[in-house]
Amino acid sequence: MPGLNVSLSGDQLARRMQDRLRGLNAAAPNTIVWQQNNNKILIFADSLAAKLLNGWLLCNLDLQCDQTGKQTLQFVFFLGSPADGDGVHAGCTINAATPQAGQIAQVWGAALQRVLWDAVLDALEVSCEQAAAQHPNTTLALQGFHVTAAGLQSAILTGGN
Number of domains in the chain: 1
- Domain coverage including residue 46: 12-122
The model's pLDDT over 75-104, given as tens digits with 9 standing for 90+, comes to 999 998 877 766 778 889 999 999 999 999
pLDDT tens track, the chain, 161 positions? 457 888 889 999 999 999 999 886 667 788 999 998 889 999 999 999 999 999 999 999 999 999 999 999 999 999 988 777 667 788 899 999 999 999 999 999 999 999 999 999 999 998 888 888 888 888 888 888 999 999 999 988 887 55
Q: What is the pTM of this model?
A: 0.89
The DSSP annotation for the chain comes to --EEEEEE-HHHHHHHHHHHHTTS-TTS-SEEEEEETTEEEEEEEEEEEEEEETEEEEEEEEEEETTTEEEEEEEEEEEE-GGG-SBS--EEEEEESSHHHHHHHHHHHHHHHHHHHHHHHHHHHHHHHHHHHHSTT--EEEEEEEEETTEEEEEEEE---
